[in-house]
Amino acid sequence: MSQALSLLPLLAQLKQSMQQAQLWQADIPSDEALASQAPFCVDTLTFAQWLQFVFHPKLSLMAEQQMPLPSKIAVLPMAEEAFKLETKPTDEVMRIISQIDTLLTQDEPVSLLDIVYQDEYLVAINKPSGLLVHRSWLDKGATQFAMQMLRDQLGQYVYPIHRLDRPTSGVLLFALSSDVARLMSEQFAERAPTKMYYALVRGWCGDGELDYPLKEELDKIADKHASQAATFKEAVTQYQCLQQVELPFAVGRYATARFSLMQLMPKTGRKHQLRRHLAHLRHPIIGDTSHGDGKQNAFSKQQLNNHRLLLHAAQLAFTHPITQHATVIDAPLPADFERVLKTCGIDRFSV
C-alpha cells in the first residue's frame, strides 16, 4: 500500500477519536482565522480546530489524489505543546497523531537508542550528544529526534518527562502513559528527583555550592506566548571536583591547559543552569559554544579531537510513581566523552 493510501485510515481514526473526545466541533471558523499564516494558526485557532479544519482536510485531499505527502511536518510536537494550553486529549488521540507522524517520516534512517531502564510504566535512554528530544520548528534541518526514535523502537507512544539540551548526553526519562507522565511531572515540579552530571571544565575548580539566581531565557518562537518580561529565578548547583589535569600547551593567555573533571548536582532546573553556573564560576564547560571559552573550545577540537559539549547526565534518582520504590537510573559515559578524558590523562575514571 502506498504511503498516501496508508494515511487515509489513520485520518479516519483521528476524526473518530477526536469526536469521542469532544474535540471535533460543528462550528466552522471564519475565513480570516483559517487563512492565518501563524505557526499552527495558534493566534486564531485552537490546535484541535487546526487539526479539524486545516490539517485533516488538506492531508485527506492529498492522500485521496495520491499526491506526495509533506515531510517534517512535526505534527506530534505541535500537539504536545499546543494541548498544554487546551483541553487535554485522550491517549488514543495522541496515539493516532503519533502514527501519522511516523508515516510522514518513515523514509528517515532507523537508529536504535540505548535503553538504560524499562518497565511497564517508564523507559529511559542514554541520549547521545547532538540529538534533539523531540521534533521542533526551532530546528527544521534536524532529521532524528529521541522521542520519535524511541516511539518507533518500542512501537508505542512515549511521554517525555523532562528535557536535556541538544548537546548534552545522558539519562532521558519517558512515561508510557499520560497518567504516569502526570505523576512524574509532579515529582519534577516539586524537585523531588535528584540528578547528577559529569562535566569537563576549564581550569582547576574546587568543591562548593553556588546559589546564583538566573534570568529566565526566553525563545522568540517557543516562548512567544509567555510574558517577555524575563525575571530572575532561584538556581542552586552543588559541585565537586573529581580530578584535575594540566597539559603542556599554551591556550590564550595561559601557559598551560588546565582542566577539572566535575560532578555536578543541580538542585533546581533552570534553562542551561549548569552551563551558566560554571561560566559564572569562571570554569566554563568545554565545548559550550553559548557560554564557554572560544579559545579553550578551539584547543579541545584541535588537540583533544573533541566535537561536543562535555556535559553528561549520568544519574537520575526518584521514587517510582507506581511501585513507590527508590529508583536509580545510570547512564554510562559515552565513548566520545571517555576518549577525551583519556586523551587528557584522566584514565582511572569510570561511571
Q: What pLDDT digit, counting tens, does each position of 25-73 carry?
A: 878 877 766 665 444 555 567 788 888 888 888 888 888 877 777 655 6
Question: Is residue 331 within 8 Å of residue 312, measured between CB atoms?
Answer: yes
Give the chain's largest Cα–Cα span. Answer: 73
Q: Which residues pair with 200 in a beta bridge?
A: 261
Answer positive or negative: Cα dihedral of 10, 15, 18, 23: positive
203 closest CA partner among 244, 238, 239: 244
First and final C-alpha spacing in the chain: 48
Q: What are the residue ranges of CATH 3.30.2350.10 in the chain?
A: 194-344
Residue 184 grid cell = 512524574
User: How high is the pLDDT of residue 99?
Assistant: 84
Q: How many CB atoms lie within 10 A of CB 219?
A: 10
User: How high is the pLDDT of residue 3?
Assistant: 64
Q: Which position among 119, 139, 152, 165 bears the catalytic label?
A: 165
Q: Has 91 been annotated as catalytic?
A: no
Question: Is residue 160 within 8 Å of residue 127, measured between CB atoms?
Answer: no
Q: For 3-107, which CATH class?
A: mainly alpha
C-alpha distances in Å from residue 236, one per residue of 89, 105, 167, 208, 329: 35, 40, 21, 11, 22
DSSP collapsed to 3 states, 177-209: CHHHHHHHHHHHHCCCCEEEEEEEEECCCCCEE
152 vs 231: CA distance, rounded Å? 39
Question: Is residue 301 within 8 Å of residue 188, measured between CB atoms?
Answer: no
Q: What is the CATH number of domain 194-344?
A: 3.30.2350.10
Q: What are the residue ranges of CATH 1.20.1440.40 in the chain?
A: 3-107
User: How high is the pLDDT of residue 80?
Assistant: 74
Angle between helices 335-344 and 294-304 (to 10 degrees): 90
Give pLDDT < 50 ranges for the chain.
1, 37-39, 108, 137, 220-226, 351
Query: What pTM, to 2 d.p., does this model score?
Result: 0.70
User: How high is the pLDDT of residue 75?
Assistant: 77
